[in-house]
Structure 1
Amino acid sequence: MTETVGSALRHIRKGRGESIVAVAKATHTSPASFTKWENDQTVPSERSIRKLADYYDMAPTSLLALAYPTKYATPTEQLSMAGKTLIRAEDLFSSDTVLTYDGHALPDDRKQLIAAFTAGLFLRSKQSN
């Protein structure tokens, strides 16, 4: 799965145990903007990414490559994404999505069970890295 800039920002923030409001205030950003970034509704500007990287005491290159892959991703990263459809796992389980198997819509309880299992796989993967 390809990570998005929003999921990376959320992972960093939660890993530090900070709230959206605290990070937004410290980086002179509105909490509403930060929420939109984390939910991949909008992409932070390069300037905002650099401010966040400075706040998190990290190099901005990895975040910039996620937000602006054609400008900042390495040629290898660009090739690995070329011609592929990016699907966020979160979108598979949203209330607006109908998940099907073998041509039949899955009931909500099955969809929730699959979502919980998938979340567990991702958490386990992050813990082993």
Structure 2
Amino acid sequence: MNMENTIGSALRRIRKNRGESIVEVAKATHTSPASFTKWENEQNIPSERSVRKLAEYYDMEPQELLALAYPDKYAPKTAPEENVAADAIRVEDIIAPGTELSYNGKLVSEADKHLFAAFISGILLAKTE
């Protein structure tokens, strides 16, 4: 993990930029200095409630800090890669339920569609390993 993009490094950077001590921030946010030190040193992750209190104290959007502390839950979803052609067909859409496939003018059965999906998925997964 890039240490510049962690909750601990962000908390330390913000606190130092404001010229505050750990004790000052901890007192203002009703947190123990020991807990705050552990957060800055990446030994613990603050609770969502604590992150929201810190964001309020720092007068910033909670989402910014929550995304660092809980990226799976709060990080913005990344946009699809920009190097994909505008007329590209997503494999996910081809094998999605409800999509009808045809070959040589005939509809492909659901069973064959599942085989096709498994085959394509296998190829793509094998390439990423």
TM-score by length of 2: 0.58
How many Å separate the matches in 2 of 1:53 and 1:63?
A: 7
Q: How many residues get paired?
A: 78
TM-score by length of 1: 0.58
- The answer for unaligned runs of 5 or more in structure 2 is 82-129
RMSD: 1.7
In the aligned structure 1, how far is the partner of 2:12 from the partner of 2:39? 9
Query: Among 75, 78, 85, which residue is 1:76 paired with?
Result: 78
Alpha-carbon shift at residue 7 of structure 1 (Å): 0.1
Q: Percent identity?
A: 74
Match of 2:27 among 25, 29, 38: 25
Which protein is bigger by CA-based radius of gyration?
2
Q: 1:66 aligns with which of 58, 65, 68?
A: 68
Extract structure 1 runs of 4+ deviating beyond 4 A.
Answer: none
Higher relative contact order (CA 8 A, sep 6+): 1
- Give 2:94's aligned residue: none
Aligned residue number for residue 50 of structure 1? 52
Kindly provide the amino acid, as one letter, of the partner of residue 7 in structure 2: V
Q: List gaps (5 residues or longer) in structure 1.
A: 80-129
